[in-house]
Amino acid sequence: MFHPKRVFFEQASLEYPLGQELYERFKQAKVPVFMIGSHNRVTGIPGKTPREAYLEAKRTLVVGIRRTLEFSTCKPSAHYQLPLSTSCTGQCQYCYLQTTLGKKPYIRVYVNVDEILEQAEKYINKRAPEVTFFEGAATSDPIPVEPYTGSLAKTIEFFGNQPLGRFRFVTKFTDVDTLLGIDHRGHTHFRFSINTEHVIKSYEQGTPGSAARLKAARKVAEAAYPLGFLIAPIFYYDNWKQDYSHLISSLAEELEETVSSELTFELISHRFTASAKKRILEVFPDTTLPMEEEERKYKFGQFGYGKYVYPKETMEEIKEFFHREINTYFPSAEIKYLV
């Protein structure tokens, strides 16, 4: 469970029951509490170096109100992002949030969940009779803050009652027990981000190990959620085939017959931008992340900037390997994409 070192409250958040409840909870627990005017302007997080600032931010919780209720698009995985929280307690070295959330990527939660869900319903009604999909983890991992907010449980229950609304999110974390008994009606696609033990130990600090994630996935499968796995980022390193083969076979052994035919896989190879590399080296100066430009292919992305990706021959080898392994152990699963 995430235990913040300090908590900032946007003044207006105390006008909501959840904001008041969290304020009393942290005061009683003797966690340092500070008041601020806006959750977008937070000062007072210590850190003299980029690494210190990053680590202190990862132990900082900010409680605020989501005022912008115009949801961002989230193609191709969903129609819209659903903003329940921002940032993540994990310290994954490769994470793209390194460059999108600033030098102090503190964790934000929003207390006006009912208003956010009301807005989601408006989007659903506007697109009717089409089904509308929402992504709940575009800029966060919502599981670590769930014990404080209950937002994820409320959202899953909400979408269970929406004939034309569907919810999806992905997590690396394993505190899923409070979500297992919800009447989700198959409207929430529960996905886990998984990787080899080598990758987790090397680059995914502050997150559960592979075995713990697979056990949590089994619980979710037994609760009859539509289940998916994000294998990302895929690294091409010595013994990568052996390690990823072991990961997939271990997943099959853990799930056994509990998984439905709706099982999905999303495969994302490692890539990086020049700005991300600069930021990563500031925060993790001793990183062993493979970021040698001369070993990659430069590719322009859909958002107007370029990234360094594996060359075509490597990608073809990765594709052939994962399609073969997944089809061997999960012949009825859908591989949504490999990028």
Q: What is the pLDDT of residue 301?
A: 67
Examine residue 205 and state whether it is found in any structural domain, yes or no. no
Residue pair 23/14 in contact (Cβ under 8 Å)? The answer is: yes
Phi first, then psi, for residue 41 (nearest 5°) are -130, 90
Residue holding tokens 């034309």? 164
pLDDT in the model for residue 89? 96
Tens digit of pLDDT for each residue in 5-41? 999 999 999 999 999 999 999 999 999 999 998 767 7
Q: What is the mean pLDDT of the chain?
A: 94
- Tell me the pLDDT band of 97, cut-offs 50, 70 and 90: confident
Domain span including residue 118: 1-129+143-156
Look at residue 102 and tell me if it is in a domain: yes
More confident site: 8 or 256: 8
C-alpha span between 291 and 308 (Å, rounded):
8
Residue 64 lies in a domain: yes
Asked whether residue 72 is assigned to any structural domain, the reply reads: yes
Task: Give pLDDT tens digits for 208-237.
Answer: 999 999 999 999 999 999 999 999 999 999
Gap between the Cα atoms of 121 and 128, Å rounded = 10
Specify the range with the lowest mean pLDDT, choosing from 101-110, 198-207, 212-221, 231-240. Answer: 101-110
Q: What is the pLDDT of residue 304?
A: 63
Q: Are strands 165-171 and 188-194 parallel, antiparallel or unpaired?
A: parallel
Residue 76, domain member (yes or no): yes
Beta strands in the chain (DSSP E): 6-10, 33-36, 60-64, 73-74, 78-81, 85-86, 91-92, 107-110, 132-135, 165-171, 188-194, 204-205, 227-234, 264-269, 297-300, 306-309, 334-338
Sign of CA pseudo-dihedral 336, 159, 16, 179:
negative
Give the residue carrying structure tokens 């409207």. 187
| CATH number of the domain where residue 151 is located | 3.40.50.12110
Least confident range from 183-187, 211-215, 275-279: namely 275-279
Q: How many domains does the chain have?
A: 1
Whether 297 is in a domain gets the answer no
Residue 210 covered by a domain: no
Q: Residue 260: what pLDDT?
A: 61
Q: Decide if 304 is inside a domain.
A: no
d(CA 246, CA 187): 31
pLDDT over 70 for what percent of the chain? 98
Is the pLDDT at 302 greater than 70? The verdict is no
pTM summary value: 0.95
CA angle 115, 120, 125 (to 5 degrees): 125
Instruction: Provide the b/e sequence for 135-149 (b: ≥16 CB within 10 Å).
Output: bbbbbbbbbbbbebb
